[in-house]
């Protein structure tokens, strides 16, 4: 069981590291779009009880709002 937990933690840490390094050369507007999409996806999932359509819709709306705010 501990091996499984260790693997999960290592995989999660690697994903976060690679995710953060991918944002290094993004413009401010690109970062706002990505943050908006992430927040929108979480909001859509919460509001629809985890529905895939709600999550994708929330990500789309959040991305558009983040794009416009980042201008």
Interval 16-63: pLDDT, tens: 777 667 667 888 888 888 888 888 888 988 898 888 898 899 989 999
In a domain, 62, yes or no: yes
Residue where the block lists tokens 């416009």: 68
- 34 in any annotated domain: yes
Please give the model's pTM, rounded to 2 decimal places. Answer: 0.66
Phi, psi of 70 (to 5 degrees): -75, -5
Residue 70 lies in a domain: yes
Q: Is residue 49 in a domain?
A: yes
Largest CA distance in the chain: 48
In a domain, 69, yes or no: yes
Tokens of 18: 């690679």
* Cα 23 to Cα 25: distance, rounded to the nearest angstrom: 6
Helix axes of 52-69 and 28-47: crossing angle, nearest 10 degrees: 150
Q: Is residue 9 one of the residues assigned to a domain? A: no
Instruction: Give the number of domains in the chain.
Output: 1
Give which of 18, 27, 19, 22 is closest to 66, Cα–Cα.
27
Residue 12 in any domain: the answer is: no
Does any domain span residue 36? yes
Give residue 62's domain range: 25-71
């Amino acid at each position: 069981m501990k091996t499984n937990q260790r693997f999960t933690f290592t995989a999660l840490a690697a994903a976060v590291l690679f995710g953060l390094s991918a944002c290094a050369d993004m413009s401010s507007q690109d970062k706002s779009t990505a943050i908006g999409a992430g927040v929108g996806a979480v909001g859509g999932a919460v509001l629809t009880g985890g529905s895939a359509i709600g999550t994708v819709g929330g990500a789309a709306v959040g991305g558009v709002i983040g794009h416009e705010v980042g201008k």
